[in-house]
Amino acid sequence: MLKIFLLIIFLASCPFSIVNAQQLELNKREKRTVQKHKKVIYGTASYYSDKFIGKKTANGSVFSQKKYTAACNVLPLGTWVIVTNLKNGKSVKVKTNDRLHPKMKRLLDLSKIAAAQLGYLNKGLASVKVEVLGGKLNDWDNEINQLKDTVIVQ
Tell me the pTM.
0.64
The CA distances from residue 8 to 1, 5, 11, 14, 117, in Å, are 11, 5, 5, 10, 60
Res 102: pLDDT: 86
Q: Which stretches in the chain have pLDDT values below 50?
A: 15-24, 26-27, 29-36, 137-154
Res 13: pLDDT: 56
CATH topology of domain 39-146: Barwin-like endoglucanases (2.40.40)
Q: How far apart are CA 131 and CA 153, in angstroms?
A: 12
